[in-house]
């Protein structure tokens, strides 16, 4: 019988690519990960890893077992959710990941409602860019997340995660020049974008490239309030989704674009019907609906 914890390590190695990355994600040492995977090979009776210098790769047998491990983890999550549903109340920790504008605009009210209806829940929130969400869910660092994609930055489906649509937002062009109301007009204007490893940064680059140019980015800011303040100060232009517009500074003009940002709720496959996650989903969906009214 193969050890489930070792199967999880093999699955994470298939996702992350290196022993060090697996160790960092799951709070092991690289040596411990290596030892556990060696034990899994003995249990499986076939080589699971190819060692090339200091790097490792899955053998064909290792890749097959990793695919089965993904299904095993999902079934165990379903079993845990089913057991939790037998309890009389919704209790325990719920670790929530959320991108900053959702964490500010819709999450607080939903948390108040959730805490009132289920006082036994221990709610914990971490701000995360959507690019970091899959890894955090896979590692068990969070249980559920609010994430998004842009029209210009679609995401590949992750078979280990379940997602549900939540909210569709208008994306605005933020400028101070009433004569420039399209991306094409701003080829020679400096831009303000998120940090290079964020989806918001990628979205701006791809939106400009779709209009025939690569933006000249002068400032990097991840808080949309800061972005709007920089636009108001004449430091450049930017793209802002609806939830990012809490207050429009004087002089800033917002022009609705055809592009959209689409938010969703994500969790590990098998956990969608866990009572705590189902309660969170109901609360955040109610608040998201209210924010659109």
Q: Residue ranges of the domains in the chain?
A: 4-84, 92-165+263-292, 169-259
Domain 92-165+263-292 indexed as CATH 3.40.190.10 = yes
Q: Fold match between 92-165+263-292 and 169-259?
A: yes
Q: How far is the C-alpha of 197 from the C-alpha of 145, rounded, in Å?
A: 19
Query: Where do the DSSP E strands lie in the chain?
Result: 49-52, 55-58, 92-98, 121-127, 144-150, 161-175, 190-193, 216-220, 238-241, 253-268
The CATH architecture to which 169-259 belongs is: 3-Layer(aba) Sandwich (3.40)
Q: How do the pLDDT tens digits run along the chain, 293 residues long?
A: 889 999 999 999 999 989 999 999 888 999 999 999 999 999 999 999 998 777 888 999 999 999 999 999 999 999 999 998 899 899 999 999 999 999 999 999 999 999 999 999 999 999 999 989 999 999 999 999 999 999 988 888 898 999 999 999 999 999 999 988 899 999 999 999 999 989 999 999 999 999 999 999 999 999 999 999 999 999 999 999 999 998 899 999 999 999 999 999 999 999 999 999 999 999 999 998 877 65
Q: What pLDDT score was predicted for residue 290? A: 78
pTM: 0.86
Q: What pLDDT score was predicted for residue 289? A: 83
Q: What pLDDT score was predicted for residue 230? A: 97
User: What is the CATH code for 4-84?
Assistant: 1.10.10.10
Q: What pLDDT score was predicted for residue 293? A: 58
Q: What pLDDT score was predicted for residue 292? A: 61
Q: Are 254 and 92 in contact (CB under 8 A)?
A: no
Longest dimension (CA), the chain: 70
Burial of 293 from C-beta contacts in 10 A (0-12 / 13-18 / 19+):
exposed
């Amino acid at each position: 019988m193969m050890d489930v914890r070792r199967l999880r390590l093999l699955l994470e190695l298939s996702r992350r690519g290196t022993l060090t990355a697996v160790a960092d994600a799951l709070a092991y040492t690289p040596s411990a990960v290596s030892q556990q995977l060696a034990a899994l090979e003995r249990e499986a009776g076939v080589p699971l890893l190819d060692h090339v210098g200091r790097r490792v790769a899955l053998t064909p047998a290792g890749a097959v077992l990793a695919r089965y491990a993904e299904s095993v983890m999902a079934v165990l999550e379903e079993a845990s959710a089913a057991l939790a549903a037998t309890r009389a109340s919704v209790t325990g920790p719920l670790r929530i990941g959320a991108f900053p504008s959702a964490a500010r605009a819709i999450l607080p009210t939903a948390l108040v409602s959730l805490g009132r209806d289920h006082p036994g829940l221990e709610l914990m929130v971490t701000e995360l860019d959507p690019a970091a969400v899959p890894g955090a869910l896979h590692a068990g660092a969070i249980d559920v997340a609010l994430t998004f994609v842009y029209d210009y930055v679609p995401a590949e489906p992750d078979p280990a995660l379940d997602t549900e649509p939540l909210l569709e937002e208008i994306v605005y062009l933020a400028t101070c020049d009433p004569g420039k109301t399209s991306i094409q007009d701003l080829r020679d204007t400096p831009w303000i974008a998120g940090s290079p490893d964020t989806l918001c940064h990628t979205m701006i680059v791809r939106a400009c490239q779709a209009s025939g140019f690569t933006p000249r980015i002068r400032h990097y800011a991840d808080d949309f309030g800061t972005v709007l303040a920089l636009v108001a100060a004449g430091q450049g232009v930017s793209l802002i989704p609806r939830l990012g517009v809490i207050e429009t500074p004087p002089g800033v003009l917002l022009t609705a674009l055809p592009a959209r940002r689409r938010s969703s709720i994500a969790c590990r496959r098998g956990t969608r019907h866990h009572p705590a996650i189902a309660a969170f989903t109901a609360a955040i969906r109610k608040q998201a609906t209210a924010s659109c009214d």
